[in-house]
Amino acid sequence: MPQFSYRARNAQGGLVEGVLDCPDRAVAIRQIEQLHYIPVRIEAVKTEPPPVPEKSGKNGAVVATTTPAIATTPAAPTQKLRIPHNQLLIFTEQLGHLLNAGMTLDEGLSVLEKRLKQPRVQQMTHSLHQALVDGRSFSQALRDFPRIFPAIYVNLVAAGEASGALPDILARLVEHLMQAKNLRDRVQQALIYPAFLAVAGAGLIAIFITFMVPQLTAFMTQNGGELPVPTRILLGAHHLLTGYWWVGILLVVGGVLGYRAFVRTDEGRIAWDRFRLMIPGYGRIIRHRYYAQFSRTLGTLMENGVPLLRAIDLVSEIAGNRYLEVKLSEVRRSVIDGANLSAALSAQNLFPDLFTDMMAVGEQTGHFAKTMQTIADVYERELDRTVKIISALIPPVIIVLIAIVVGFVVYSILSAVFEMTHSLQLRPH
Bridge-based pairing state of the strands 62-65 and 55-56: antiparallel
Q: Is residue 170 part of a domain?
A: no
Is 255 found in the same domain as 136?
no
pLDDT at 426 over 70: no
pLDDT at 47 over 70: no
pLDDT at 71: 40
pLDDT at 124 over 70: yes
Q: Is residue 168 part of a domain?
A: no
Could you list the residue range(s) of the whole structural domain that residue 290 is in? 182-429
What average pLDDT is seen over the chain?
Answer: 78
User: Which region among 154-163, 197-206, 221-230, 393-402 has the lowest average model confidence (pLDDT)?
Assistant: 221-230
Is 407 found in the same domain as 301?
yes
* The amino acid at 244: Y
The average pLDDT across 19-41 equals 74
The average pLDDT across 385-404 equals 81
Among 16, 40, 65, residue at a domain's last position: 65
Is 332 found in the same domain as 226?
yes
* The amino acid at 344: A
pLDDT tier for residue 223 given thresholds of 50, 70 and 90: low
DSSP-assigned letters across all residues of 50-79: PSS-SEE-GGG-EEEE-PPPPPPPPPHHHH
pLDDT tier for residue 399 given thresholds of 50, 70 and 90: confident
Q: Is residue 165 part of a domain?
A: no
Q: Is residue 164 part of a domain?
A: no
Is 126 found in the same domain as 22?
no
| 222 vs 367, residue with greater confidence | 367
Is 222 found in the same domain as 136?
no
- Report the DSSP beta bridge partners of residue 167: none
Q: Is residue 385 part of a domain?
A: yes
pLDDT at 424: 62
pLDDT at 353 over 80: yes
Q: How far is CA 254 from CA 196, 264, 265, 266, 323, in A?
A: 26, 15, 17, 20, 25
Among 129, 149, 169, residue at a domain's last position: 149
% of the chain residues with pLDDT over 90: 6
pLDDT single digits (tens) 52-97: 444 444 444 444 444 444 344 444 455 678 888 888 888 988 988 8
Q: What is the 3-state secondary structure (H, E, C) of 213-259?
A: HHHHHHHHHHHCCCCCHHHHHHHHHHHHHHHCHHHHHHHHHHHHHHH
pLDDT at 49: 46
Is 197 found in the same domain as 94?
no
pLDDT at 337 over 80: yes
Q: Is residue 176 part of a domain?
A: no
Question: How many domains are there within the chain?
Answer: 3
Is 362 found in the same domain as 238?
yes
Q: Is residue 156 part of a domain?
A: no
Q: Domain containing 296 — which CATH number? A: 1.20.81.30
- Report the DSSP beta bridge partners of residue 18: 6, 63
Is 374 found in the same domain as 266?
yes
pLDDT at 254 over 90: yes
Is 236 found in the same domain as 106?
no
Q: Is residue 167 part of a domain?
A: no
The average pLDDT across 333-341 equals 88
Is 363 found in the same domain as 295?
yes
The average pLDDT across 338-345 equals 88
Is 388 found in the same domain as 244?
yes
Q: Are 58 and 97 in contact (CB under 8 A)?
A: no
The average pLDDT across 377-381 equals 88
Among 16, 43, 65, residue at a domain's last position: 65
Is 125 found in the same domain as 218?
no
